[in-house]
Chain A
Amino acid sequence: MSGVDVAGRTGHRRLAVGQVAGDRRRAWPWPRVTLTALAAAACLVPFLLEPYRVFQLTMVLVHGIALLGLNLLVGHGGRVSLGHGAFLAVGAYGSAIMTTSLGVPYPLTLPVCALVTFGAGLALGRPALRLSGPYLAVVTFAVAVVVPLVIKRFGAVTGGSMGLSTPVPVAPSWTGLADDQWLYLLVLAVAVGAFAVARNLVESRAGRALAAGRENPAAAEVLGVRLDSHRTLAFGWSAMYAGVAGTLYAWVVGFVSPDSFTVTLSVVLLAAVVVGGPGSLLGPLLGGAFITFVPAVAQRAGDALPGIVSGVLIVVVVCFAPTGLAGLLRMAAGAVTRRTGRG
C-alpha cells in the first residue's frame, strides 16, 4: 500500500508506468496547456476550414480509432494482425445494412456494431492467439482475404461488388451546424472516448500484463499473468475499435463496397501503426494522418506516385525512426525540454 505515491515524488500528475520502472526520459513539461490547446483547436477546426478539409480531418480521426485498436494488439501486445480490415468491413457493413434495410437510426448502429465486432474479435482471438509469429499472421491474413469475398457472395444483403449507399447523418436543426461539421464533432466525440478508454486500458493492470507478456512471456506467466485471456481480450478490444471505425467510416463516406476493405487495407493499417509509433498513444493519430494525407499530397506530384511515395516513406521511417513519428515527436519534445531546462 505504501511507497507508491510516485505522483507526489516527481511532481507530475501524469505518470508513465515506465518512470516507475526507471524511465529517465524527460517528459513534456506542459501537458495540460498542450492538451487544452489541442482540444480547443480540435473543436474550432470545423468552423475555420473548408468542408473538404473537415472531411479529411474526420477521416484522420476514423483511421486513428482503427489504428488505436490495432496498436493495442501490435504495440502493446506484441502480436501482429493482418486482418483488421475485415473488422472494419464488419463494422461498416453492419451499420450500412442496419440503416438501409432495417431502418435503424444511425446512432444505434454504433454500439451494436461495437458489440458484434468485440464478439467476433473474441471468437477469433481465442484460437488464433494460441498461435504466434508467422502462423498468427497467416490466420488473420486469411480472414482479411475471405471477408470481401463473403461480402460479394451475399449480394442480396450486401449489394455485392456494387456496394451499398448509406444515408449520411444529417445535423439536427437545433445545432445549426452544417452536415460535415456535425459529422466531424460526432466522430471527434467518439475518438476522444476511444482514446480515453485506450489510455486507461494501457495504463491499467491489464495493459501492463499485456506489455509484460510481450517483453517476457515466461516471466509474466511465472508471476501469475494469464497471458491467453489477456491477449484474447486485447484482440477483442482491438477488433471492437476497428468495428467502431468501420461504422464511422460508413457514416462519413456514405458508401461501402468490398473494394474498400481489401487485404491492402489491412496491410496499410499495420504499416500505419508502425509509422505512427507502435506502443504510443499519439502514434495512431499520426498514423491516421499518414494514411489520409500522404496519398492525397503525393497524387499532386504525379498519377502513379502515391503508392511509391507511401512505400518509400514507410521504409525511411522504419529505418531511421524505429519508434515511429510519435518517437520523433517525443525526441523533439525532449530536446525542447532540455533547452528550456524544465522537466
Chain B
Amino acid sequence: MRETAASTAPRVPARSVSRPVVRHATRPVIRPVIRPVIRTAASAALALVLALPLAGCRLTDEDDVLPAGACAGQQVTGIDEDTIRVGGIYPLSGPASAYGLIASGARAYFGHVNEEGGVDGRKIEFVVRDDGYQPARAVEEARRLVELEEVFAIFQTVGTPSTAAVRDYADRRRVPQVFAATGASRWGTDREHPWTIGYQPSYVAEARVYAQYLKETLPAATVAVLYQNDDFGRDLRDGFADAVRGSGVRIVAEQSYEVTDPGVQGQVANLAASGADVLLSVTTPKFGAQALAVDAAVTSWNPLHIINSVAVAPAVMASVDTGKVREIVSAVYQKDAADPEQADDPAVAAYRGSLRRYAPEADPAAQQAMFGWTAAQAFVQALRRMECPTREGLREAVRRLDDVPVDTLMPGITLSTGPDDGFPIESMMLARFAEGRWASFGDVIDTRAAFGPVRTAGSSG
C-alpha cells in the first residue's frame, strides 16, 4: 500500500504549504499528461488505418460449408467422417447444480453409443460447459462452444432463462440448439427461432394431463392452486385454467409465492380455508416439500395433492408423511431407475451399466441422470435421421420426428414433431406415490389428441 499511496498522493503538507497556491502547481503537470494521450490516439488511429485493409479477413478459418452435392451450401462445422462435436451448457455450479447430473446422463449415453460404433460411424465428442444457471454466462459459453470449440450443435441448455438467452445467438450463428431442458411452451410455438427446439413435455402439456385426469375421475372437483410467480408457474397455471375451462372442474382459490420467499406455509393455509377437493402444487422442490408438509399438518383439510413433476425429487418425497396426506399424484414420461419393478427392464439395465462406467459420480436413481440419458438418446435418433450431415440437416431432422421410440421413455410415449409442432413429447402418464415410491397408473394421456396443438405460449408469450 505504501508504494501506491506515494504514487498519487503528494505529501501535501510538506511541500504544498510552502508554495502559495495549489492551482499554479497543477498547470505544467496537466499539459504533458495530455500530449501522450493525443499521441496514443494518433498511433491508434494510424494502426487502425493500416489494419483496415485486413478487414474481414483473419488468420483463422471461417465456417465450413459443403461445396457441392444435394446439400451444397450447408454448414458442416464440427462434423466429419469420423466425429461429431457436440456442446452442452449445464449448471454444474450454483443454485441449480442438481441439474448438472443431466450432463452425466448424457455423457454416459454418448459413451455407450461410441462404444457401439457411433452414429453412422461417427463418434460423438461431448464438450460440457458450466453456466452456473446464469443466462448471460450461458451466452458466453455458447460463444465459446461455437466459435472456439467449433461444435456442430448445442445439445441442451438447461432452464428457461439460459435457453432464452442462447436462442438469439444460436439463431444469429445458425447453430442448432437442440432439445433444451426446459418445459416452457414458448420453444414449441416460436416460429422466429427455427434453430431452437425443446424436449420434455411442456408445462402446458403437463397441466393438460392433470386437467384430463380430474375431468375423468372428479368431474365436479374444486381446485386450489399454489404456483410459483414466474414464467414456469404461470405457464402451468394458465395451461391448467385453459384446459379445465368449460368443464365441471373449477379453480376456487389461487395463491402465488416468489422464488425468494422463505416459505409457503401462509399460502397453503389460505388455500386450506377454501376447502377445495384438489390441491395443485405448481412448485420447485423446496416449496413442493413445504406444501406437502403443510398439507400433512393441516388435519381439517385433506385434498388430493397433485404435485408437478418439476418438484418431484427423491429428497422431497423422502420427507413426506404419507399417512397424513390423502393421495399424491404427479405425471411421468420416462422410466424410473429407482423403481424396483423396472429393475429388470433391459433399457434401465443398460442405463445403469453405462452410467457406472462413464459417469461413476452420478447416482443412477436420480431423475436428472435418466433425463440426460433419455434426451441424449433422442438426440442420437435425430442425428441418425439427418438427410444431410449438416447443421441444416439436423434442424430439419428434429422437426420431422415421426413416432420415434426411445427405450427409456414410458411404454407408449414416443417423439413426434412436425413443421408446426415443436413439442417432441406431449404424452404423459399419471403416477401415484405410495409406499415410498411412484407407481404409474392408467393409460398414456396424449394431450395432442385430447386438446389439439399448443397454439400460444402462456401469459409470458
In the complex, whether A6 has a CB less than 8 A from a CB of chain B is: yes
Task: Evaluate contact between B48 and A255: CB separation under 8 angstroms.
Answer: no
Known A-B contacts A212-B12, A303-B92, A303-B130; the reply to A13 vs B35 at CB < 8 A is yes
Task: Evaluate contact between A202 and B8: CB separation under 8 angstroms.
Answer: yes
Mask, A48-89, CB within 8 Å of B = 1, is 111111010001000000000000000110000000000000
Known A-B contacts A176-B56, A216-B12; the reply to A163 vs B43 at CB < 8 A is no
Task: Evaluate contact between A204 and B39: CB separation under 8 angstroms.
Answer: no
Known A-B contacts A48-B59, A211-B8, A259-B136; the reply to A199 vs B33 at CB < 8 A is yes
Task: Evaluate contact between B93 and A175: CB separation under 8 angstroms.
Answer: no
Q: How far is the CB of A320 from chain B (nearest CB, A)?
A: 13
Which residues of the other chain, B, contact A53 by a CB distance below 8 angstroms?
A: 148
- Set A165, A211, A278: member contacting B10, Cβ < 8 A: A211
Query: Which residues A1-58 have CB closer than 8 A to chain B?
Result: 1, 4-7, 13-18, 20-23, 25, 31-32, 35-36, 39-40, 42-44, 46-53, 55
Task: Evaluate contact between B41 and A219: CB separation under 8 angstroms.
Answer: no
Which residues of the other chain, B, contact A163 by a CB distance below 8 angstroms?
A: 135-136, 161, 164-165
Mask, A235-263, CB within 8 Å of B = 1, is 00000000000000000011111011000
Separation of A199 and B100 alpha carbons in the complex (Å): 45
Which residues of the other chain, B, contact A278 by a CB distance below 8 angstroms?
A: 4
Q: How far is the CB of B75 from chain A (nearest CB, A)?
A: 15
Task: Evaluate contact between A7 and B60: CB separation under 8 angstroms.
Answer: no
Which residues of the other chain, A, contact B136 by a CB distance below 8 angstroms?
A: 163, 253, 255-257, 259-260
Segment with Cβ contacts to A, from B139-147, B195-203, B273-281, B379-387 = B139-147
Query: Which residues B23-41 have CB closer than 8 A to chain A?
Result: 23-26, 28-30, 32-37, 39-41
In the complex, whether A161 has a CB less than 8 A from a CB of chain B is: yes
Task: Evaluate contact between B172 and A17: CB separation under 8 angstroms.
Answer: no
Which residues of the other chain, B, contact A342 by a CB distance below 8 angstroms?
A: none
Separation of A215 and B5 alpha carbons in the complex (Å): 8
Known A-B contacts A43-B51, A255-B139; the reply to A219 vs B7 at CB < 8 A is no
Task: Evaluate contact between A327 and B12: CB separation under 8 angstroms.
Answer: no
Task: Give 19 A-B pairs besides A163-B165, A259-B134 with Cβ atoms closer than 8 angstroms.
Answer: A15-B29, A16-B8, A18-B8, A22-B11, A25-B6, A32-B39, A50-B147, A162-B160, A165-B164, A165-B167, A192-B40, A199-B37, A219-B12, A223-B22, A254-B169, A255-B136, A257-B134, A279-B8, A303-B130
Subset of 12 A-B contacts with CB under 8 Å: A13-B35, A18-B8, A25-B7, A32-B39, A47-B57, A149-B260, A163-B136, A208-B10, A299-B129, A303-B93, A303-B130, A323-B1
A contact set with B: CB distance below 8 Å: 1, 4-7, 13-18, 20-23, 25, 31-32, 35-36, 39-40, 42-44, 46-53, 55, 59, 75-76, 149, 160-163, 165, 168, 175-178, 181, 185, 188, 192, 196, 199-200, 202-205, 207-208, 211-212, 214-216, 219-220, 223, 253-257, 259-260, 277-280, 296, 299, 303-304, 306-307, 322-323, 327, 330
The 3 closest A-B pairs by CB, nearest first: A52-B147, A52-B148, A43-B47
